[in-house]
Amino acid sequence: MNKTLVVVESPAKARTIRKYLGSNFDVKASVGHIKDLPKTAPKSEKGAAGRISRGAKVERGQVLGVDVANDFTPHYEIIAGKEKIIKDLREASQKADRVMLATDPDREGEAIAWHLCEELKKPREKVFRVLFNELTERTIKAAINNPGRLDENKYNAQQARRILDRIVGYQLSPLLWEKVQFGLSAGRVQSVALRLITDRQQAIDTFVPQEYWSITAALEAEQPPPFDARLVEDRGKKVHITNARSAAELGRQAQANPFIVAEVKRSERSRKPLPPFITSTLQQEASRKLRMSSSRTMRIAQQLYEGIELGSQGSVGLITYMRTDSPRVAPEALDAVRKYIKAVFGAKYLPERPHSYKVGKAAQEAHEAIRPTSMDLPPEKVATYLDRDQLALYGLIWNRFVASQMAPAVFDRTTADIRNGELLFRVTGSVMRFDGFFKVYRQDEPSDSTNGDKDDENRELPPLEKGQILRLNSLTPRQHFTQPPPPFNEASLIKELEELGIGRPSTYADIVTTIEKRKYVEIVDKKFRPTTLGRIISRLLQESFPKLLDTGFTAQMESSLDRIEEGDASWVQTLRGFYEPFKSSLAEAKQRMRSIKREGIPTDEPCPECGKKLSLRSGRYGLFLGCSDYPECGYTRNVGGEPAPAKEPIPTDQACPACGAMMVIREGRTGRFLSCSRYPECKTARPLSTGVSCPKCREGELVQRRSRRGKVFFSCSRYPACDYSLWNRPVNVPCENPSCDSPIMEERHSKKDGEYLQCPQCKRKITSTPSP
């Protein structure tokens, strides 16, 4: 009997698929990507001192794994630790008559399939591509029975994105090392997302509130209930009250005239349900309703897609593929959900025809919306097999899908215009007459709202007729101020990226996670706020690379990648069109970009010692404020809690535990430390915190200490309760190794490599720049 090898990415996905296929199928997992561009340069590309000669590399047309001069030819290498997996897969493929590559149905999945095909050494005619939008018996067997071939256009689109990101990241990051601070990095799309956040924060910081007033009349008709009407017009023009004096004058006019109903409009309004989830809307709604980050949402969705153990049923894929930008639903799924709605809620909740939803211009219509794979598995039936987060996300997906095919909610809406002399007051009431899809899913934002006034919903008005005179109970003027635009949170940032055409379903979570990990933004009350470092990076990049950070240009690049996937554009020509202008801007930036280390950024703050302006600078220990008249004036002050690099004692707000005097930061032969300001009368000294949390206990901070032999080392401030220690200075840069969870790196120096960072756990080095 013929043997078939089926290769997927994950063991969980392999378990789910294996149970639906017979003994003549061998299902194995690659455990993600098996090849990638190199993380560090080979020895032949390093200079005499061991450092990578970046200038020479670019001149020869090489950008770490990409031969720019030879049509951007990439040179992939086996990812560390994947050699045994490849060996096992290769042996299995030799025993099989054919190989089916069943990696995910997106660009990343296509790249994994392509690299597997290269490494398995199987004749191309015996290698097939199968796509699973959902992991159910029907779809798995249908795909196996109708295999296709590898999609070179889709692979080229992924490859073009990877090379673009490598070119930008590898050449921008060393520039930031030179101009700002060692260890920094920049990415093509992440830098644009950072710009959105910094621009929004700038708009908030510079916003000047404008005063305005409203006037509300508390009125009563012959029958209850009483209601409030708001002043909307004065002498036929929209009212705009800017100060208390105008509000008082209009209030006197209103008091002097009767309130007479001028017009009553009654209408029936229906509110349609929102479409089923696509990747971006799932991330946004999970953030709003479940308080889940985008990365956490995608991680849990991946688990639900690949399969959950459901007792005797084995591993079952509960949702369709979670990286999609199409709200399309398969006909058989529409039939199933309509039968479910009729059986559970009744015929009145089932619309006459299924709802259809508009597909975005860039959407891949071959994909489906994110939906349950079976209407026989409602959340309550599988709840005992899911953890809390899995159940919450599955319930959200289930309810949104069911609601998307239910009847609209119906509201009785009444709008009354009330004449008062030359003034016009208005009130709108809306009462739900039929809950429709609201029975299952509550929408925070109506999809077809025209006035946006949520206060109108479920506001009941008394019977009103034209010419009816109303009783005034009170008249209330209220002062208001215009509000600045809100800062971005994860949901609103992803929505903004989607609307601007920046990023794709597979990249939204990575974009958000990357700018957080780089410490360019911080999260305050679940809102993004750019750090001082983030503002500096964004400002420098905007000044030197205005096109690269332009949202329109980035969206255009995304469209170009889509055209490559569709076979309408050459990936080499696309990269060439990007690289030449970028190379020119890079060369100019190396000469003209402001050096924060040497020049600093002027501020409006005066130096407290000499009165001249302070400048924001970068030193070995991070950012600090220093006097612009240095070296004549040596004043410095830390920024964001980082110690200022100065040899003069730096005051702190800490009291000496021995004598009560203030502690200061001093610099000795082994580095900085806390010392009593009364030294040498009081010789109390303490180690100085590095500002890096202990990765072992997560409670203490790593502080600088000296061994008995005088050697500097860094250990947890909770010693001896926690014994974690390092010989080299730790920095808040997480390890880039996907299989390593270290939140820190160590600063190191050698004659061979110069300055570099190394992970204390997996020992991975960053000798030139972090991988983009």
CA distances from 233 to 67, 215, 378, 468 (A): 68, 11, 52, 19
The token duo for 228 is 């409030």
Helical segments of 121-243, H only: 137-145, 152-179, 188-205
Rounded distance between C-alpha atoms, residue 174 and residue 184, angstroms: 8
Residues with a catalytic annotation lie at: 321
Asked if omega into 174 is within 30° of 0 (cis), the reply is: no
Amino acid occupying residue 507: T
CA-CA distance, 390 to 753, in Å (whole number)?
46
What is the rounded distance in angstroms from the CA atom of residue 1 to the CA atom of residue 771? Answer: 46
Residue 627, phi then psi, degrees to nearest 5: -65, 135
Cβ of 192: how many Cβ atoms within 10 Å?
24
Length of the chain: 772
- Show the tokens assigned to 245: 């004096």
What strands lie across the sheet with 689-693, from one edge to the other? Answer: 689-693, 701-706, 712-716, 725-726
**Tokens standing for residue 299:** 């991680």
* DSSP-derived 3-state class of residue 621: coil
Do the Cβ atoms of 759 and 740 come closer than 8 Å?
yes
Residues 649, 664 contacting (CB under 8 angstroms): yes
- Partners of 432 in beta bridges: 411
User: At 468, which amino acid appears?
Assistant: Q
How many CB atoms within 10 Å of residue 93?
23
Tell me which residue of 439, 472, 397, 532 sits closest to 215, measured CA to CA: 472
What gap in Å lies between CA 343 and CA 384, rounded to an integer? 24
Task: Give the torsion sign (CA, 94, 96, 97, 98).
Answer: negative
The answer for 42, left when phi > 0, alpha when psi is -120 to 50, beta otherwise, is beta
Q: Which of 289, 217, 215, 206 is nearest to 248 (CA)?
A: 215
Residues 6 or more apart from 571 whose CB is under 8 A from it?
156, 157, 159, 160, 564
Q: What are phi and psi of 313, to 5 degrees?
A: -75, -15
Is residue 276 reached through a cis peptide bond, with omega within 30 degrees of 0 on the bond before it? no
The number of beta carbons lying within 10 Å of the beta carbon of residue 560 is 22
Which amino acid appears at position 285 of this protein?
E
Q: Please, are residues 139 and 19 in contact by the beta-carbon 8 Å criterion?
A: no
Are the C-beta atoms of residues 65 and 38 closer than 8 Å to each other? Answer: yes
Q: What does residue 95 show for φ and ψ, rounded to 5 degrees?
A: -85, -15
Q: Measuring CA to CA, which residue among 216, 248, 261, 217 is closest to residue 473?
A: 217
Distance CA 518, CA 173 (A): 12
Q: Beta partners for 52?
A: 46
- For residue 276, the tally of other CB atoms under 10 A from its CB is 29
CA distances from 542 to 50, 169, 426, 538, 602 (A): 33, 15, 47, 6, 17
* Among candidate residues 401, 395, 408, 410, the one with its CA nearest the CA of residue 338: 401
The conformational region for residue 433 under phi > 0 = left, psi -120 to 50 = alpha, else beta, is: alpha
